Amino acid sequence: MSETSTAAGGIAACSITLQLNGEHREVEVYPWTTLLDLLREQLHLTGTKKGCDHGQCGACTVLLNGKRINSCLTLAVMHDGATLTTIEGLANGEELHPMQAAFVSHDAFQCGYCTPGQICSAVGLVG
């Protein structure tokens, strides 16, 4: 963000660091920014979906330090220094993660909107 990264009330953005999908990232976020909004709106990782925005549907599920978490229910500033894996970070280049491959080979899709969250949940379960 620029040097003028303050909100209307004079609240400044916070600097946090993440190990995101295997890469070190430093980002500026406002204290009220959810982890989901940071991923989708600022970092343009749109594989994580915004469904209910109340933690009920699981479409926003990501892995935080190896554990599943609903990214819509947590603030990004709470996870300074954390390791975060989104659906985009599971594959190794063009090689799918085994859970992604299993979903494909077993036709485990409906409309596909919540599939990234389901895959991240399943990886967190077995991991």
What are the pLDDT digits (tens) for 61-111?
A: 999 999 999 999 999 999 999 999 999 999 999 999 999 999 999 998 778
Which CATH number among 3.30.470.10, 3.10.20.30, 3.40.50.150, 3.90.1150.10 corresponds to the domain 14-126? 3.10.20.30
CA distances from 38 to 31, 35, 86, 107, 112 (A): 11, 5, 12, 30, 22
Enter the pTM of the model: 0.89
